[in-house]
């Protein structure tokens, strides 16, 4: 393949795709088109250091931006360009400004957008977090003494809550599950993290459903009404209730877009040789776990899926099966949570080291293992010294499915 590769989505996955294409010797033209007007930047600090710090926008842009490698000097960047349609048969993408681009190969890297709570009211005080602009808008409202409700106690919700608490806000988290981050790390580790948040003064309403945003009558929030009738009084709310894949521009091509873009194990979109996907948007079978296609929303995924996708475009045949070890981290209240493997797929968890009470987690850390039908499929490590991480990572059984 020597022709024009069009990468749609100019964030981590788009950048990595272009780097991998050049690294694998693709010398043909590459265009990276993205909806944001900024060059690719790093998102994980948005819920952590950006919210707790006071750096101005220019400083943040400087510190968060990825430095494109010199091999990308001849790549064309088309920023501020939202793809609105795509004709896979004609190999053409249309953009919101009515421009079109033709390609020989297409790489899909349009990631996710935050899901919104489908209830009206208090719109002037409701925030989401995905972009630097989102983070700057939210940070401007994180004023000591204000009351913040965080809806959704997944990773982003928990990090926002911890950051806001550090800035002196009164924080209440509202969650439908029994424990924060339960889907990703299970109920035992989730309850341990809840105890940590509580010890820092964060309040919880678990197994709680929202029935309404109570509006003062001027678009500002008075509070949030729960199914129990209770009202959580708040000055602002963050909706951290998950994300939806940015697939609207791909509709009409007969693709399976039911949760992201369905890919095969070579990151090819439904077996097409000229279309690949990478990163948060890609639903692919990771043979580390099994043959079930899933999306994985971790920072490490753009790196390894982009490499695989670029190989699929550049090489005639991609032989070996693809079974990367998933990994993610989170920082909350000064503790690093590190995960390897797929704890969410475990059917049982066990304590490997330490204890789950907040003081012990702070002092010495804790390690949990997750088994699936006896196989150690994941570990979650909270507050462990960096030197101990590799030991537990090696406990994860990387034997792949065939
Ligand atoms: C606040 C936050 C904190 C995080 N913290 C962690 C962490 O601590 N640890 C961890 O492992 N992971 C973390 N992540 C996840 C990690 O950042 C993502 O996995 C990663 O950003 C995915 O990169 P991506 O390029 O696939 O998608 P994205 O970063 O979502 O990029 C997609 C790009 O495509 C653009 N786009 C969308 N639609 C279109 C369109 N129609 N046309 C053109 N362009 C389009 C978007 O504007 C965006 O720039 C965090 C994510 C967020 C948001």
The pLDDT tens digits for 310-328 are 999 998 777 778 999 999 9
Ligand 1 atom nearest to 36, measured from its CA: 47
Q: Which pLDDT value is given to residue 402?
A: 58
**pLDDT tens digits for range 61-113:** 999 999 889 999 999 999 999 999 999 999 999 999 999 999 999 999 999 99
Antiparallel, parallel or unpaired: β 105-108 and 236-239: unpaired
For residues 149 and 234, the answer to whether their CB atoms sit within 8 Å is yes
Closest atom of ligand 1 to 297 CA is 19
Q: Which residue positions in the chain have pLDDT lower than 70?
A: 400-402
Cα 299 to ligand 1 centroid, rounded to whole Å: 8
Q: Which two tokens stand for residue 305?
A: 């899926």
What is the per-residue pLDDT for 400?
65
- Residue 207, sorted as left (phi over 0), alpha (psi -120 to 50) or beta, turns out to be left
43 CA from centroid of ligand 1 (Å): 7
Decide if 39 contacts 10 (C-beta within 8 A). Answer: yes
CB distance 26 to 313 below 8 Å = yes
pLDDT at 231: 98
Give the residue from 320, 155, 323 showing the smallest Cα distance to 243: 155
Q: How far is the CA of 131 from the centre of ligand 1 (A)?
A: 8
Environment class of residue 182 by beta-carbon count within 10 Å: exposed (0-12), middle (13-18) or buried (19+)? Answer: buried
Q: Whose CA is nearest to atom 23 of ligand 1?
A: 12
* pLDDT number for residue 2: 83
The domains found in the chain, sorted by start residue, are: 5-44+66-113+244-314 (3.50.50.60), 116-241 (3.50.50.60), 334-393 (3.30.390.30)
- 12 C-alpha to center of ligand 1: Å? 7
> In whole angstroms, what is the distance from residue 181 CA to residue 332 CA?
12
Distance of alpha carbon 3 from its chain centroid, rounded?
A: 31
What is the model's pLDDT at position 176? 98
Distance of alpha carbon 380 from alpha carbon 341, whole angstroms: 9
Ligand 1 pocket by Cβ (under 6 Å): 8-14, 33-36, 43-44, 46-47, 82-83, 109-112, 129-130, 156, 246, 249, 279-280, 297-299, 301-302, 328-330
Say if CB 105 and CB 313 are below 8 A apart: yes
CA-closest candidate to residue 106, choices 86, 127, 76, 77:
86
- Whose alpha carbon is nearest atom 37 of ligand 1? 110
How many angstroms is it from 240 CA to the middle of ligand 1?
14
For residue 297, the CA-to-ligand 1 centroid distance in Å is 8
């Amino acid at each position: 393949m020597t022709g024009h590769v069009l990468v749609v989505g100019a964030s981590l996955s788009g950048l990595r795709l272009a780097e991998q294409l050049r690294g694998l010797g693709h010398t043909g033209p590459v265009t990276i088109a993205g909806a944001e007007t900024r060059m690719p930047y790093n998102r994980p600090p948005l819920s952590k250091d950006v919210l707790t710090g006071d750096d101005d926008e220019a400083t943040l842009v400087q510190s968060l931006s990825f430095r494109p490698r010199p091999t990308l000097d001849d790549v064309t960047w088309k920023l501020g360009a939202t793809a609105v349609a795509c004709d896979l048969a004609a190999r053409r993408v249309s953009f919101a400004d009515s421009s079109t681009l033709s390609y020989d190969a297409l790489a899909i890297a349009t990631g996710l957008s935050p899901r919104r709570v489908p209830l009206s009211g208090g719109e002037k005080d409701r925030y989401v977090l995905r972009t630097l602009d989102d983070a700057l808008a939210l940070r401007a409202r994180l004023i000591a003494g204000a009351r913040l409700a965080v809806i959704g106690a997944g990773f982003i919700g928990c990090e926002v809550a911890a950051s806001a608490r550090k800035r002196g806000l009164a924080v209440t988290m509202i969650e439908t599950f029994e424990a924060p981050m339960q889907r990703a790390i299970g109920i035992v580790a989730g309850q341990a993290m809840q105890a940590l948040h509580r010890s820092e003064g964060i309040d919880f309403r678990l197994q709680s459903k929202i029935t309404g945003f109570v509006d003062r009558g001027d678009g500002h929030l008075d509070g949030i009404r729960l199914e129990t009738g209770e009202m959580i009084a708040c000055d602002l709310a963050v909706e951290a209730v998950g994300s939806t894949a940015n697939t609207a521009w791909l509709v009409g091509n007969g693709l399976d877009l039911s949760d992201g873009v369905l890919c095969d194990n070579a990151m090819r979109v439904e077996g097409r040789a000229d279309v690949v996907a990478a990163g948060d948007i890609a639903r692919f079978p990771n043979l580390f776990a099994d043959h079930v296609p899933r999306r994985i929303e971790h920072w490490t995924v753009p790196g390894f899926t982009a490499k695989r996708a670029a190989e699929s475009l550049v090489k005639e045949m991609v032989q070996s099966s693809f079974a990367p070890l998933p990994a993610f981290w989170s920082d909350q209240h000064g503790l690093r949570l590190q995960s390897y493997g797929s704890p969410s797929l475990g059917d049982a968890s066990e304590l490997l080291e330490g204890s789950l009470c907040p003081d012990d987690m702070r002092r010495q850390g804790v390690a949990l293992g997750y088994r699936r039908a006896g196989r150690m499929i994941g570990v979650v490590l909270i507050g462990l010294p960096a030197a101990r991480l590799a030991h537990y990572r090696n406990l994860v059984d990387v034997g792949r499915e065939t």
